[in-house]
A and B are shown apart, each in its own frame.
Chain A
């Protein structure tokens, strides 16, 4: 297969676009497309200070690379979760992130959960009823809270994440299976800022997962290849596999599923039954971040429960 632009040997074929490109044209195409997505969706401008959440995986490192190449003022935020899983998952992810930042002379903020909360994510999860089997709930909750807090406290205008189309389509699929209209209303490539909540954007929302991986490979970006050990068997991965089966038979199915959802949302299809879009927010009595729950926000309440439980266990002489 030949590159559509120059006729050289292609290295990637994007069937949904009927587009094959050689290495050089592909490395040129990804940033140009990203710039188009940023502009068309009014995500941010060159004057904005941007914070990118970096996990050490391919999507977030590629996003950091592309945004800095495009000339944006973009710093990284790495959140240390303390997950080992037999492969030193968090330590390795941090190593890839720090080495990328150093190599590209980019500023990185590191936030270690254990340092701030006294416990790492797996230990904390083991002390909650929901988290014993799977720590993803407290992990996701903590990351979302910390990302917002760090962005607000450091005066960033926008928080960006490396979510790709496969991520978005999988979430959409899950929300649609259960008709979670409140979640459907909130899903999109840009979430505007509200009092105390930073604006969020997903500049890679139209790229397939294999496209960000291909960019990392061709650009020589080293990333954490292994998955989080707790993601094994996750519903999101199962949905991605189902959608990829559909894509194999019908090229463009994933893209069309997500883009037609965004169009349907514009026509207010999901807005009639929603109940919590305009929830009244007030500051959490502990951390001051906006919350819709009375008194403490979910983050502070969950971590308080974790610390209380740990104290009780220590009093009873039980090792966590």
Chain B
């Protein structure tokens, strides 16, 4: 009963059945700092993780300054 979450070159295994937001908070990933996608489609973070889900997170924080 696991889903996988990918962020850059890292992979996390989490229990399915919880929301993406709960999974992110458990993993200490700030929900504001990422966008969750499945098969390239953007998702809201209240989406319930299904078994064998592969969620890719797009990091949105950028640094540097003009």
Please tell me the number of chain A residues within 8 Å of chain B, measured between CB atoms: 46
Between B37, B45, B61, the greatest number of chain A beta carbons within 10 A of the residue's beta carbon is seen for: B61
The complex places the Cα of A228 from the Cα of B61 at a distance, in Å, of 12
- Interchain CB contact (< 8 A) of B62 among A20, A209, A217: A209
Which residue of chain A lies nearest to B58 when distances are taken between CB atoms in the complex?
A213
Please tell me the number of chain B residues within 8 Å of chain A, measured between CB atoms: 24
Which residue of chain B lies nearest to A171 when distances are taken between CB atoms in the complex?
B65
Q: Beta-carbon contacts of B30-66 to A below 8 Å, as 1s and 0s? A: 1111110100011111110000000000111111111
Indicate whether A147 reaches chain B with its CB closer than 8 angstroms.
yes
* With known contacts A11-B44, A13-B46, A217-B58, A208–B64 Cβ distance under 8 A: no
- Interchain CB contact (< 8 A) of A20 among B34, B44, B60: B44
B30: which A residues are within 8 A, CB to CB?
241, 244-245, 247-248
The complex places the Cα of A208 from the Cα of B61 at a distance, in Å, of 10
The complex places the Cα of A224 from the Cα of B39 at a distance, in Å, of 20
Indicate whether A12 reaches chain B with its CB closer than 8 angstroms.
yes
Indicate whether A75 reaches chain B with its CB closer than 8 angstroms.
no
B9 CB to closest chain A CB, in angstroms? 12
**Are B32 and A59 in contact, with the CB atoms below 8 A?**
no
- Interchain CB contact (< 8 A) of B63 among A12, A20, A227: A227
Given contacts A23-B42, A237-B63, could you give 15 more A-B pairs where the C-beta distance is less than 8 Å?
A13-B45, A13-B46, A161-B66, A166-B61, A210-B60, A217-B35, A217-B37, A227-B62, A227-B64, A231-B63, A236-B65, A244-B30, A247-B32, A248-B30, A248-B31
Question: What are 24 A-B residue pairs whose CB atoms fall within 8 Å in the complex?
Answer: A1-B47, A11-B43, A20-B44, A53-B66, A136-B64, A139-B64, A143-B66, A167-B62, A171-B65, A210-B60, A213-B60, A214-B35, A218-B42, A225-B59, A227-B62, A228-B63, A231-B64, A237-B63, A240-B63, A244-B32, A244-B33, A245-B30, A248-B25, A248-B30
B residues near A (Cβ < 8 Å) are 25, 30-35, 37, 41-47, 58-66
A residues near B (Cβ < 8 Å) are 1, 10-13, 20, 23, 53, 55, 57-59, 136, 139-140, 143-144, 147, 161, 163, 166-167, 171, 208-210, 212-214, 217-218, 225, 227-228, 230-232, 234, 236-237, 240-241, 244-245, 247-248
